[in-house]
Structures are given as structure tokens and as C-alpha cells.
Amino acid sequence: MHEMSIVQALLEQVAEEVDQAGQRGRVVSLHLVVGRLSGVHVDAIRFGFELLSPGSIAQGAALRIDQPPARCHCDRCGAAVEIAEIVSACPVCGHADIIIRGGQELLLQSIELEDEDQAGEASSSDGWIHENRGSKEDPEGQ
Amino acid sequence: MKIVAAKKILKANDQLANENRAAFSGRQVFCINLVGSPGSGKTTLLEALFAQWGQRCAPAVIEGDIAGQVDAQRMEQIGVPVVQINTDGMCHLDASMIAAAAQNLELTGVTMLWIENVGNLVCTAGYDLGEHLRIVALSVPEGDDKIIKYPAIFQRSDALVLTKIDLLPHLNFRTAKARADMQRLAPEARIFEVSARTGQGLPELATWLVERRAAAAPSRS
């Protein structure tokens, strides 16, 4: 089950993205894209997230997971049909001369953060001071 | 406040994989990631290929296993430089493990670096290791339905090697079906049918690999 490693990578990436955006608010929700043929199981992602997110920046965040389909292209009838799972014949004309593409996405699409006025006062003022010092006094800036 | 990332979740691994690939290319080392089920004959295929090439190829191997040194010992016995990675239960290799393992390999003079991945048709699919070529081995006793049951790994491979084809007379494996399924998922991929035991199909695979290596590193071919 490699979903644990994927959730671990996801949590690191969320922390990095939030940091890069200069934000400190709590993560309210995450939007992921997991293609139907990605080989990644969405239930296992949710389970891994429940297990690994406590104590991380994404603790308690809701997961929105889109599962885009793959596409079946038929060489005979020319149809390009969305498929939720793998097929061995064209769903339109039944011919076997098909090529299956896509459905392999594994993306962190977006991160929804708590609005600043909702965030705890202590953490937001602390965050501002750090932000200021970081940009002005960092000797390795540039 | 919304941050739109739209980035691959395994972006950190992909970046590291690109660094590995650049490092291998810089040293004229052609790297191949060999994936397949446990027991699909990956190690035996390597032994057979290395015997086929003899002195014409200088291989090194990174062996990935959950536990044990068995595969590494087989490589040592035939005089191939090898590093064993034990993942301690993890079901796949990732690019950071390869970067660390490559540090422990003398790559000077090596022309082909093989990574024998952990035996697994699911988890290995999403992890780029920094290889130039990915080959999936499917042994015919596993059945001809595996390609459509585990599409991700086949979709992302540059070649399918059907192994143990000397057993075909005893099985219901439909080679034509396996070929057709692979072509639907990976139309550009090459398909080989080999038996390490009889040597059937090995020369074709060996020749293709040498050609691919030459195409990737024209200055040393």
C-alpha cells in the first residue's frame, strides 16, 4: 500500500506551499485529483490522511478528491469516450482497436486556508513578526 | 484564502528522479528500472541478459527488496557490482533511495545500471527513480489478465517482457491478448517474449537494449 507514502509526500507539499505563499493559517480543505487509472486508491488516501495528518498543518482538513476518467480512443469509429475503468473494446462500436490514455493524474490542486480574521490572534501576530524578520534580515536572501 | 498549487503530489520525488537521471546521463550510465510481480523472473532475466552480453556490457545493479540479500548475492556470484536496498516493508523504491544507493556503487566504467524494483505491480508505478527506460516483466504463469488488472504499471512502461515462455504449452496464457492489451495501454511500448531457460527471445531484447542505450548516449556507442 503506497498510499501512505503518497499522503506523507502530500503533507510535506502542503506545508511547503503554505510556507511559500507566506501564510500561516490552518488548512481547512485540500483539493486532490486522483485519476481513475493512477493505481492510487482514494479510500486508502483518506485512511492515510486520517492517520498521518494529526499534528501536521493539515490536521482536520476536509479532503475533496476528484477522480478524472481515462479516455478510450477508437481507431475504427473515431470515438473518444470517457471511461471510469479499463475496457478492452470500444464502448461505442465494440471494436478492439482502441488506445487508452489519461486517468493517471495525481495532483494537489489547491489548498483552502482559514481566513485570517478567523485565525487565532496569537498565531497570526507571531506569524507576522517572523515574516518581517525573515525578509529583511535573512543574510542568505536574494 | 486559497492556494492553487496544481502540482504533482510526488513532485519532490520527481525532482529527485530528474537529478538522478541527469547524474546518470552525465556519467554515460544508461539506467533501467525493471518492475514486475514477485516471482516474475526479474533477477533471472538479468542473469540471462548479462550472460548474453558477456564482456560487451558493463552492468551494475541496485536490488530493491523488502528484506534479505538473496538477489544481491546472485549478482555477486556472477561478478556484477551490486548494492542491495532493503525497504523494511515499503512496497516500492523511490528516487531518494536510488540517490543514496548510487553513492555506494562505483559507476566508473559502468554502461548500464539496472534497478530491480521491489516485486509489486501496483506501488512501483507512480515512482520515477531517474531511469532512462522502464521495463515491466510479466511471467506467463501469472496469467494474461494482469495487464488490464494493473493498468498503471503497464501504461507507464517502455517495454513489456513476457518471461518464462517455455511454459506456454502448459498454460492457458494468450500471448495475442497480452500483446493487444499492452498496445491499447502503451501503443509505443515494445513487447518481447523470452525464456531465460531456453534463451528464446533473449537476443532480440538484448539488441534492443543496446540500441536504446546507444540512442541515449551517442558519444560512447
CB within 8 Å: A13 and B185: no
Residue B50 belongs to what H/E stretch?
helix B42-53
CB within 8 Å: A109 and B6: yes
The pLDDT tens digits of the residues spanning B32-52 come to: 999 999 999 999 999 999 999
The pLDDT tens digits of the residues spanning A55-92 come to: 999 999 999 999 999 999 999 999 999 999 889 899 99
Interface test with A, best of B2, B3, B9, B14 (most A CBs within 10 A): B9
d(CA A22, CA A1): 34
What would the grid cell of residue A18 be? 503554505
| Closest chain A CA to residue B14 | A9
What is the predicted ipTM? 0.80
Share of chain A above pLDDT 90, in %: 70
d(CA B36, CA B141): 13
Share of chain B above pLDDT 70, in %: 98
Whether the pLDDT of residue B157 is over 60: the answer is yes
Give CATH for domain A3-116. Answer: 3.30.2320.80
Please report residues of A whose CB lies closer than 8 A to that of B151: 37, 39, 86, 100
d(CA B120, CA B34): 11
pLDDT category of residue B90 using cuts at 50, 70 and 90: confident
Considering only the beta carbons, identify the residue of B2, B92, B152 that sits closest to A37.
B152
Pairing mode, if any, of strands A27-34 and A106-113?
antiparallel
Q: Which residues of chain A have pLDDT under 70?
A: 1, 116-142
Q: Are B65 and B147 in contact (CB under 8 A)?
A: no
Domain boundaries, chain A: 3-116
Domains of chain B and CATH, by start = 11-215 (3.40.50.300)
Q: Are B45 and B196 in contact (CB under 8 A)?
A: yes
| Closest chain A CA to residue B156 | A104
CB within 8 Å: B122 and A96: no
Task: Determine the average pLDDT of the residues in B89-112.
Answer: 93
d(CA B220, CA B213): 9
CA distance B31 to chain A (A): 23
| Residue A118: per-residue pLDDT | 58
| Residue A79: per-residue pLDDT | 96
d(CA B147, CA B134): 15
Considering only the beta carbons, identify the residue of A6, A110, A114 that sits closest to B9.
A6
* CB neighbours of residue A75 within 10 Å: 13
Q: Are B110 and B81 in contact (CB under 8 A)?
A: yes
pLDDT category of residue B105 using cuts at 50, 70 and 90: very high
